[in-house]
Amino acid sequence: MITTGQIQLFMEIFSGRRDVYARRWEKNDKNGYSPAYQFSWSEFMEHKKNGGTMASFTNKTTLPITMETVCNHLEGRDSLGIYPLRADGNCHLIVVDFDKSTWKVDAPAFVTKTQTYGLNPSLEILKISNHTQINGNTWKAFLGLLQNSSTGCTPSY
């Protein structure tokens, strides 16, 4: 069982925007992450029948990340993503995603190189798409905020 303290620690380490989080989806052998929304399913289906998409559907509200959503993620009931770049342009962590077939070489090389600069990122190995695709992420959380200009962070929505 996940404790409140564990959830709070996770939210502190993986701190990003609190007003929105991403939820993992799979469809037709494709997968990805999209913002989590609250909306009327029947209204959206009507919109979709008329050629609309979620991107063009305006009657939706982003869902904030909560203790409950993080608990569901930690217990494996949902797969969430965060938006590290905050509204003020600062980041609390840096994430590097290694998706190519060379990730087993690239990710450890990145970790080794960053260690020469005094950084010690964590390497996470992910299983994606019903465990058929494996890739790696590196995570580095910082005690303070990193300004956008110093990290080269650029938002991608």
pLDDT tens digit sequence for 74-115: 888 998 999 988 888 888 777 777 777 788 888 888 888 888
Q: What is the mean pLDDT of residues 52-67?
A: 96
pTM: 0.71
Domains of the chain: which residue ranges? 1-83, 87-157
What span, in angstroms and rounded, lies between the C-alpha atoms of 137 and 125? 7
The residues, any chain, with a CB within 8 Å of residue 100's CB and separated by 6 or more, are 106
Distances (CA, A) of 10 to 81, 82, 141: 12, 12, 11
Chain centroid, CA 75 distance in Å: 16
> CB-based contacts of 38: which residues, under 8 Å, 6+ apart?
60, 61, 62, 63
Q: Is pLDDT above 50 for 155?
A: no
Residue ranges in the chain assigned as alpha helix (H) = 4-13, 41-49, 67-74, 103-115, 148-151
pLDDT digits (tens, 9 = 90+) for 24-41: 988 898 888 899 999 999
